A = this chain, B = another copy of it.
Amino acid sequence: MPLLGSNSYGKSAIRLVTIVRRGAHHELRDLTVSVRLDGDFRDAHLKGENRGVLPTDTMKNTVYALAKAHASMPVEPFAAAIGERLLVASLAATRATVEIAQHEWQRVRLGEQPHHHAFVRGTPQRRMAWVSATRDGAEFEAGIAALGVLKTSSSAFSGFLRDEYTTLIDTRDRVLATEIDARWRYDQAPESFDLAWRSIRNALVETFADHDSESVQHTLYAMGTTALERCEEASEIHLSLPNRHHLPVDLLPFGQENANEVFAATDAPYGVIDATVRRDGGRNPG
């Protein structure tokens, strides 16, 4: 009889919008939450016995039931509260994993005046949080998804390895564009999750902007290094950087020179560079 290996179950894409009202002034938060349970669910798989199975519908309800009390806190303690509650509800579970994506809304401004209750959708950037809760405690990770950045200078790619299939030519000046996907681990909870997130987010953007890039790898490592410098509670950071190629258009057939002025932006194929940067002396990742 085949063995049941690692397994988990849960609910994804729980869309949750909360409003906190301070008189006429409203705070808006727009989240997508996913929850997962790992544990001993052998009987459900092998025997169709559901006695130990908390429905994913209940997991969704749990997120909504805890939403109001946590609407003013950062997403990380909200995620931890969900995880802890799910471990209480499910004796079979050994781990509850909660992922929260926070979508950006910007308050409308009329002149200099921030509006009390109207918002404009922000950039596609999502603030991410992950909590992995066990009966021994919770581990916190944070991150960013889909933060698009582009620089029109200070990016090169040259001196690379060539073989018989290499047709790319060296360049000392190219457009560098990516969508930052970052995930970092907190060895200890920062005093302010909001400030910690903001300082790493800014570290990534600023380093991307100012680095004299010899390659995506080169800039990735610099970004990770600065991120760890700016936030001492973060012990390691993983970055995944797709290379959104912008190809200079050949204008010579039309009697024009193209001094890196006109580009065709392409979606596919795209390069992708992944790496983890780790604080020296930091804990080895599991």
Contact = CB atoms under 8 A, between A and B. Distances in A.
Given A165-B58, A221-B4, A151 B65 contact: no
A131 to B, nearest CB: 18
Contacts of A210: 110, 118
Contacts of A17: 175, 246, 262-265
A4 B124 CA distance: 29
A73 interface: no
B19 A260 contact: yes
Given A165-B58, A278-B2, A269 B115 contact: no
Nearest to A161: B54
A264 B16 contact: yes
A192 interface: no
B275 A108 contact: no
Interface in A95-149: 105-106, 108, 110, 115-125, 147-149
B51 A217 contact: no
B168 A270 contact: no
Q: Oligomeric state, in number of copies? A: 4
A183 interface: no
A238 B121 CA distance: 21
A120 B147 contact: yes
Given A148-B120, A151-B119, A269-B13, A1 B261 contact: no
Interface of A: 1-21, 24, 26, 28, 30, 36, 41, 44-58, 60-62, 64-65, 67-68, 71, 89-90, 105-106, 108, 110, 115-125, 147-154, 157-168, 175, 179, 205-206, 208-210, 213-218, 220-221, 224-225, 228, 236, 238, 242-243, 246, 249, 251, 253-254, 256, 258, 260-280, 282, 285
